[in-house]
């Protein structure tokens, strides 16, 4: 939890692989590939929900595994370069989401955001930089209070925000024109996994006829969901919920960190490649992660190469 937000987590994983490659001092190729694969598994196990993490890693591993070279130094370069490429792409993507998403914000809008999402903030910040006068409301985001980070970041950009408790969202929805949140994972059917509480906000927005937008880079789309895999929801320590309060010992506390918002509650997903209806997520996956779906079919389902050509 020292590194938060799906984008930052992905960039940190890419940086981790880059550092691993730099620090490798062995000379044999098999040893290097095994070492990088072990580091990749270690990094992937740090947080289970944000698909940006495995997506950053498979991007680098795919490059490594499709390079034919007998030279360790050359393979190290492949890992380093692909990691740098991913990090650069990720930062640019967040910026582009801001530019594209800001077009949906109108002068005078009141916007609600939840948790702390760089992609959602990028939209708000770009709209303000374009001269649009907007009001922002942001939730505290219990139990880890990422909303405080959001409030601080907005203030740094001289954007005033009103901090509200998560349970006050319905009471404030009549003042809101648009909701913008980030994503940890977007599944093939357009459902979005984001910080716990997001789906409740979407439900309230739907009831009030308020537009609900998700800002998500393409590396937040999950190739494994095309093949039926479920997204694991991180369950965190009960201590985050009860804090230092004296509670009876036998009380049962659950603390899921994320929830799933169905596509019917999402008006659009803002990506760095354009604004899409959530139902078009499968197209993003086929176009940008066709290779990952093929790798998965070849390595885990053991079908042969010829059967994957239509993906
Ligand atoms: C952060 C969170 C964010 C998404 C998107 O959760 O749910 O909304 O990760 O963030 P946590 P970004 O604090 O548990 O990591 O747009 O910055 O990738």
Q: Which of 1, 2, 4 to mutate to test the pocket of ligand 1 (most atoms within 8 A of CB)?
A: 4
Question: What mean pLDDT is predicted for residues 90-99?
Answer: 98
Q: Which of 3, 5, 46, 52 to mutate to test the pocket of ligand 1 (most atoms within 8 A of CB)?
A: 5
Question: What mean pLDDT is predicted for residues 5-18?
Answer: 98
pLDDT of residue 303: 66
- Work out the percent of the chain whose per-residue pLDDT is above 90: 89
| Residue from 222, 216, 187 nearest 293 by CA | 222
Q: Ligand 1 centroid vs 147 CA: distance in angstroms?
A: 11
pLDDT confidence of 301, banded at 50, 70, 90? low
pLDDT of residue 70: 87
Across the chain, mean pLDDT equals: 95
Residue bearing the bigger pLDDT, 247 or 94? 94
pLDDT of residue 255: 97
| Residue from 81, 95, 74, 70 nearest 14 by CA | 81
pLDDT of residue 250: 82
Q: Is 98 in the pocket of ligand 1 (CB under 6 A)?
A: no
> What does the alpha-carbon distance between residue 206 and residue 229 come to, in Å, rounded to a whole number?
28
Q: Ligand 1 centroid vs 76 CA: distance in angstroms?
A: 30
> What does the alpha-carbon distance between residue 4 and residue 49 come to, in Å, rounded to a whole number?
12
Q: Is 117 in the pocket of ligand 1 (CB under 6 A)?
A: yes
Query: With 70 as the cut, is the pLDDT of residue 290 above it?
Result: yes
| Residue from 193, 190, 228, 254 nearest 6 by CA | 193
Query: With 70 as the cut, is the pLDDT of residue 98 above it?
Result: yes
pLDDT digits (tens, 9 = 90+) for 164-176: 999 999 999 999 9
pLDDT digits (tens, 9 = 90+) for 141-198: 999 999 999 999 999 999 999 999 999 999 999 999 999 999 999 999 999 999 999 9
Contacts of 195 (CB under 8 A, 6+ apart): 114, 115, 141, 146, 181, 182, 184, 257, 258, 259
| Residue from 97, 129, 152 nearest 269 by CA | 97
Q: Ligand 1 centroid vs 305 CA: distance in angstroms?
A: 36
pLDDT confidence of 220, banded at 50, 70, 90? very high
pLDDT of residue 302: 64
Q: Is 147 in the pocket of ligand 1 (CB under 6 A)?
A: no
């Amino acid at each position: 939890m020292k590194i938060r937000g799906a984008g930052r987590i992905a960039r940190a994983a890419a940086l981790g692989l880059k550092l691993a490659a730099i620090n490798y001092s062995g000379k044999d190729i098999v040893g290097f590939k095994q070492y990088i694969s072990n580091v990749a598994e270690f990094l992937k196990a740090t947080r289970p929900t944000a698909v940006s993490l495995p997506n950053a890693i498979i991007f680098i591993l795919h490059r490594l595994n499709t390079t034919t070279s007998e030279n360790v130094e050359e393979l190290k370069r492949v890992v380093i370069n692909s990691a740098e490429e991913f990090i650069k792409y990720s930062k640019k993507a967040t910026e582009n989401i801001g530019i594209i998403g800001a077009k949906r914000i109108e002068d005078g809008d009141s916007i609600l955001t939840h948790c702390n999402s760089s992609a959602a903030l990028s939209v708000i910040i770009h709209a303000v930089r374009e001269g649009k006068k907007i009001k922002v409301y942001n939730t505290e985001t219990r139990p880890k209070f990422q909303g405080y980070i959001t409030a601080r970041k907005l203030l740094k950009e001289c954007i005033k925000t009103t901090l509200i408790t998560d349970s006050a969202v319905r009471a404030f929805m009549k003042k809101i024109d648009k909701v913008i949140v980030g994503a940890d994972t977007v599944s093939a059917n357009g459902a979005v996994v984001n910080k716990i509480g997001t789906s409740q906000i979407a439900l309230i927005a739907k009831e009030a006829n308020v537009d609900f937008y998700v800002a998500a880079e393409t590396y937040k789309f999950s190739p494994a969901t095309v093949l039926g895999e479920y997204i694991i929801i991180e369950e965190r320590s009960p201590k985050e919920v009860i804090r230092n309060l004296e509670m009876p010992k036998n009380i049962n506390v659950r603390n899921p960190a994320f929830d799933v918002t169905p596509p019917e509650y999402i008006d659009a997903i803002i990506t760095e490649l354009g604004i899409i209806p959530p139902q078009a997520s499968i197209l993003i996956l086929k176009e940008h992660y066709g290779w990952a779906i093929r790798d998965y079919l070849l390595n885990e389902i053991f079908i042969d190469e010829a059967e994957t050509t239509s993906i």
